């Protein structure tokens, strides 16, 4: 039996799926993911992978997550792999609820050490972790809704890449303010 959490979000399915479609945001909402290494250009198409690392330096586990099912605005299924920790299956189910959505995440280990342990040992940990994952997802998706409703999302200017070796405009501005 999978660890299951549900959270109400004040956003549309499109807002949520826009966050899930951006593979580079994965470590922002996934508890334990430390950094992104690469995102397949085909992401979020089925079979595409994102490549990230778990843990804290210097102990990092290189992980991949494969998109198994991409069915906006209803469902996403992912297959994460984390070295000796094995593989898991994660499913997001999205349904309308009032002026927002209800998002359910169900996660279950299917191989590795957690899969051979009784659920009473791993299920409570996954429920706690996924509670925070849903909170982070809600923060991102609800923020998209607010930006869309206020027009900030479309009005956001493109930030040009700084020349090699040059500070970004924000870093240069911060440096000037620090000299004052």
Measured between alpha carbons, how far is 51 from 124 in angstroms, rounded to an integer? 26
Measured between alpha carbons, how far is 18 from 81 in angstroms, rounded to an integer? 23
Is residue 120 a contact partner of residue 30, using CB atoms and an 8 Å limit?
no
Is residue 5 a contact partner of residue 110, using CB atoms and an 8 Å limit?
no
Measured between alpha carbons, how far is 171 from 5 in angstroms, rounded to an integer? 40
The whole-number pLDDT of residue 80 equals 92
CA 100 to the chain's CA centroid: 19
Q: Which CATH number fits domain 3-179: 3.30.9.10, 3.30.530.20, 3.40.50.1970, 3.30.70.100?
A: 3.30.530.20
Query: What backbone phi and psi angles, to 5 degrees, belong to 6?
Result: -130, 140
User: CA–CA distance from 100 to each of 6, 10, 41, 96, 142 (Å)?
Assistant: 13, 4, 30, 6, 10
At 73, is the secondary structure helix, strand, or coil? coil
The whole-number pLDDT of residue 151 equals 73
Is residue 100 a contact partner of residue 8, using CB atoms and an 8 Å limit?
yes
The whole-number pLDDT of residue 110 equals 83
Q: pLDDT (tens digit, 0 to 9) for every residue of the chain, 180 residues total?
A: 889 999 999 999 999 999 999 999 999 999 989 999 999 999 999 999 999 998 888 888 899 999 999 999 999 999 998 777 778 999 999 999 999 999 999 999 887 766 566 667 788 999 999 999 999 999 999 998 887 777 766 655 565 666 666 666 666 666 667 665
| C-alpha R_g of the chain | 19
Is residue 112 a contact partner of residue 89, using CB atoms and an 8 Å limit?
no
The whole-number pLDDT of residue 107 equals 93
Measured between alpha carbons, how far is 109 from 81 in angstroms, rounded to an integer? 10
């Amino acid at each position: 039996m999978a660890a299951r959490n549900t959270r109400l979000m004040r956003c549309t399915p499109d807002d949520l799926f826009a966050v899930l479609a951006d593979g580079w945001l994965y470590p922002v909402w996934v508890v334990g993911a430390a950094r992104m290494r690469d995102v397949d250009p085909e992401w979020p198409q089925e079979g595409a992978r994102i490549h990230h690392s778990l843990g804290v330096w210097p102990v990092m586990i290189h992980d991949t997550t494969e998109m198994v099912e991409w069915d906006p605005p209803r469902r996403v299924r992912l297959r994460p792999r984390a070295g000796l920790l094995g593989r898991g299956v994660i499913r997001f189910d999205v349904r309308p609820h009032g002026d927002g959505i209800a998002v359910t995440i169900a996660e279950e280990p299917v191989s590795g050490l957690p899969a051979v342990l009784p659920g009473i040992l791993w299920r409570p940990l996954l429920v706690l972790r996924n509670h925070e994952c849903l909170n982070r997802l809600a923060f991102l998706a609800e923020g998209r809704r607010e930006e869309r409703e206020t027009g900030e999302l479309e009005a956001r200017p493109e930030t040009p890449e700084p020349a090699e070796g040059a500070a970004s405009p924000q870093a240069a501005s911060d440096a000037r303010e620090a000299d004052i």
